[in-house]
Amino acid sequence: MGWFKQVEAVPGGEARPCVATVRRTADGKTAGAAVVLGDDAVLTCAHVVNDALGRAMFEPRPPGLDELFVEVKGTRKTERYPARVAHWIEPRARDGGAVRDGDGEWLGDLAVLRIDAPPGGVPAPDRRTAMAPGQKVRAWHGSGHSATFADLQVAALDGPIGYLDGKGTGMAVGPGYSGGPLWSEEDGAVVGLVAAHFMPPCDAGGATLPHSPQHMIRRSWGIPWQRIEAELRPLGVLLTEDAEDAEDSEDTDPDEPAFGMLVDAVRNALPSPYSLGDTARQLALACDVGQGSPVSPPLIEEFAAFLLRHPRALAAFTEILRPRNPEATNRVLVAGRLSRTPLLLSPRERHRLHQLLRKVDRPVLERIPEAVREAAKRVAVPTDGSTLDVLLDKLEELSGDGHSDDGEPRVPALLRVVEYVAVLCPAPRQAELRLWSDGVRVRLGIPEAALRERRSDARDWARMLRGRPPRKRVLVQVARAGRGRHRLRIWCDEGTGPRQVSADSTASHTASQAARELLRVLETLTPSTEDGGRPLVEVLVDRADLNLPVDEWAAQVPGEVVPGVLGVEFPLVVHCPELLRRHERFLPDWRERWRQLDSGETLVVSDPAQDPHQIYYELMGRLDTVRVCVDVPPGPRDAIVQICLAVGIPVVVWDRGRDTPSHVTKHMADVAIRELPDAVRVYRANARGTRAPEFPGRPVLAWADADRTVPRLHLSEPQESA
């Protein structure tokens, strides 16, 4: 081990790991346990989070900005911290579908929680290693009480599941153990998480049957650590490796281009052993790692290697160095930019940002994806479905904005986004966020004028938002549930982001029942002076249902004066998030095309013999195309529509009918793009009235607004719970 040491938890005399407690928000009781991952993160089961938040046990959707509480036993006392989900891997059946009540086994079921703990406030993570058959392990109830331990043995491994058999005496695994560590005393490491236990058999009425020697006794199952790593590694979650791997990772590639420059920069900045040792101790404290000799400093090469090994060490070092030696700090930053390892923020800056965002009102937090798209127009930042923490982590990896001359440092994307969030906040929060941005700017050596320009851009954007309030909309996910029946999930968005209003998406509806349900929701929205008071209805479908005639659904309430046809009363568009998500490389094109909505070009496709793939090639050469009108027969039409949506065309118009040439596409080609939703509504009204011969078409308008968020969908199985 070198001078900078990996801090590992030191178990007490009873040789046990740190067990964190996840509390229910409703009553404060224990929902389950968790494993400490780092100074601001713990790992638990997703179903424990669902229980803590009062949701269905196997709800697959991430909880978004909902907060819960986690208790961690520190060196002196147990601290309670607010937490939110940073990474979510939903519970899923072995076939990839939803987990249903009565299922004994499932996959996934992991949640990384970001806890609002200060650096050094949480014990160091315990060592982790792979689960193996025959290991003797111990589990604790989520309360963490010493007497709740249950002794188990890994009876067998079946891929992602480890079966655990308990002793006939002592505690048995039960409710409240899920998410807790499985501790192997022999290995001195956590080898997995407790997931579930098999309960004694019951009769038809739910009563426990009398004991029989044939019954399964004290069998549970857990998630092996090797499976946890396989699930979390693609998400970029850093997990502590075995001791040998950690030791190997301390070696720095001598060909690393930043290494030599950093060695020289550190040597010039810290010329004396005293200054080197003093700074090294401050750096170790800032990064929450162990330190070597209190007398002897590390070697210059080891100091530089640590800056390239710990992702936040270089930022922490420049935070220490900037007040003493600004020029040396600039040289360190220049060298650091040659490596992909260093992240933008120091541990202190990152913790402070999360603290500030916790104080921001939820309606503002829900608009962060919109702020990201506006502040970082020229770079691809996937915001759909990302948690706030994932989004912030992605922003840290992005470079500056290109508005700098003479080689001066540019304003990083994260600082630009913080400025755009700040303008949405009231004065006290706005001032705090701007002070944070100013502090990071000073450390990075960015000219004040550069950040002031980005701040001015944010103010202009805020003025535009105030002058043009976002249109109210109702989003409805529609999925087939048998012949002539559909399941619905409904959200309202009055300008602050989607909020779910449907209580039960497991029920199926006829077209008429679905129309009545949607009208009921639409009537709850407060009237708007914009667009005649009519909210936009956005129908979210998979690609197989793009032609589903939701606009033609009528409420047909007996005795009602008006028929209540959805697409006649309200501007109704379709949106297919599935196609955008399956082809994420086109997301930057989609955002850029949407930005050009008022000035972009329209492409009309009218040759029925044209190969649909030729449309792909044409659109790749016409990045200013924002609208496509498709006027070909149904066979090639559907293929062309899907290609247009997949490559990021935000507006596509076609006729659901079979007639070509289509009156719809000819009529709509002359309508301004932003007026299309209302123009299509008027067309549908005319098509059903006395002017029907003049309006013979059945228009469909696909509308993908890059400035408005869409909730994360589960199109294959839209169920609230199993």
pLDDT digits (tens, 9 = 90+) for 512-532: 999 999 999 998 886 554 444
CB within 8 Å of 614: residues ≥ 6 apart: none
- CA dist., res. 320 & res. 318, Å (int): 5
Tokens of 262: 């950093």
Residue 552's alpha-carbon distances to 421, 566, 569, 571, in angstroms, are 40, 6, 10, 12
Tokens of 655: 């006729």
pLDDT over threshold 80, residue 248:
no
Residue 69's alpha-carbon distances to 44, 73, 391, in angstroms, are 13, 13, 22
Q: Is the Cβ–Cβ distance between 35 and 44 less than 8 Å? A: yes
Predicted confidence at residue 202, as pLDDT, reads 65
pLDDT over threshold 50, residue 673:
yes
- What are the backbone dihedrals phi and psi of residue 111, each rounded to the nearest 5 degrees, phi first? -145, 125
Closest CA to 473 of 549, 534, 517: 534
473-480/189-197 β-pairing: unpaired
CB within 8 Å of 213: residues ≥ 6 apart: none
Q: Is the Cβ–Cβ distance between 103 and 73 less than 8 Å? A: no
Closest CA to 631 of 603, 670, 600: 603
Closest CA to 275 of 226, 203, 233, 328: 328
* DSSP H helices in 337-476: 347-359, 362-365, 368-375, 388-396, 413-422, 427-444, 448-467
CB atoms closer than 10 angstroms to residue 524: 9
Q: Is the Cβ–Cβ distance between 567 and 603 less than 8 Å? A: no
Q: Is the Cβ–Cβ distance between 93 and 63 less than 8 Å? A: no
Predicted confidence at residue 717, as pLDDT, reads 39
Tokens of 173: 């695994």
Tokens of 577: 């998030």
Residue 413's alpha-carbon distances to 72, 348, 392, 416, in angstroms, are 34, 19, 10, 5
Cβ neighbourhood burial of 190 (10 Å; 0-12, 13-18, 19+): buried
pTM for the model stands at 0.69
Quick one: residue 96, left, alpha or beta (phi over 0 = left, psi -120 to 50 = alpha)? left
Tokens of 458: 């944010």
Predicted confidence at residue 124, as pLDDT, reads 84
* Radius of gyration over every alpha carbon of the chain, rounded to an integer in angstroms: 29
Cβ neighbourhood burial of 643 (10 Å; 0-12, 13-18, 19+): buried
Tokens of 135: 């290991």
pLDDT in tens, 307-342: 999 999 999 999 999 999 999 999 999 999 888 889
- What are the backbone dihedrals phi and psi of residue 92, each rounded to the nearest 5 degrees, phi first? -145, 150
Predicted confidence at residue 721, as pLDDT, reads 30
Q: Is the Cβ–Cβ distance between 181 and 190 less than 8 Å? A: yes
- Give 199's pLDDT tier (boundaries 50, 70, 90): low
Tokens of 585: 């490389």
Q: Is the Cβ–Cβ distance between 474 and 521 less than 8 Å? A: yes
pLDDT over threshold 90, residue 709:
no
Tokens of 334: 């220049």
- CA dist., res. 516 & res. 539, Å (int): 15
Containing 84, the helix (H) or strand (E) segment is: strand 78-89
- The better pLDDT of the pair 109, 257 is held by 109
Q: What is the mean pLDDT of residues 619-628?
A: 92
Q: What is the mean pLDDT of residues 358-371?
A: 84
pLDDT over threshold 80, residue 171:
yes
Cβ neighbourhood burial of 323 (10 Å; 0-12, 13-18, 19+): exposed
Containing 537, the helix (H) or strand (E) segment is: strand 536-540
pLDDT over threshold 70, residue 482:
yes
Predicted confidence at residue 401, as pLDDT, reads 58
Tokens of 21: 């407690």
Predicted confidence at residue 584, as pLDDT, reads 87
- Give 242's pLDDT tier (boundaries 50, 70, 90): very low
Long-range (24+ apart) CB contacts under 8 A made by 102-106 are 103/722, 104/196, 104/198, 105/161, 105/196, 105/221, 106/58
CB within 8 Å of 433: residues ≥ 6 apart: 356, 418, 419, 421, 422, 425
- CA dist., res. 540 & res. 550, Å (int): 11
pLDDT in tens, 122-145: 888 889 999 999 999 999 999 988
Predicted confidence at residue 672, as pLDDT, reads 81
- Give 715's pLDDT tier (boundaries 50, 70, 90): very low
Query: What is the number of residues in the chain?
Result: 722
pLDDT over threshold 70, residue 8:
no
Predicted confidence at residue 669, as pLDDT, reads 80
- Give 291's pLDDT tier (boundaries 50, 70, 90): confident
pLDDT in tens, 98-123: 888 778 899 999 999 999 887 777 88
Predicted confidence at residue 687, as pLDDT, reads 92
Predicted confidence at residue 62, as pLDDT, reads 86
Closest CA to 673 of 719, 638, 616, 624: 624
Predicted confidence at residue 514, as pLDDT, reads 93
Q: Is the Cβ–Cβ distance between 36 and 42 less than 8 Å? A: yes
- CA dist., res. 203 & res. 131, Å (int): 35
Question: By percentage, how much of the chain surpasses pLDDT 70?
Answer: 87
Closest CA to 683 of 497, 551, 560, 556: 551
Q: Which residues pair with 654 in a beta bridge?
A: 630, 700
pLDDT over threshold 50, residue 28:
yes
- CA dist., res. 317 & res. 319, Å (int): 5
Q: Most distant CA pair in the chain: distance in Å?
A: 94
Arithmetic mean of pLDDT over the chain: 85
- CA dist., res. 184 & res. 181, Å (int): 9
Sign of CA dihedral 703, 706, 711, 717: positive
pLDDT over threshold 90, residue 430:
yes
Q: What is the mean pLDDT of residues 534-555?
A: 93
Closest CA to 177 of 199, 203, 156, 208: 199
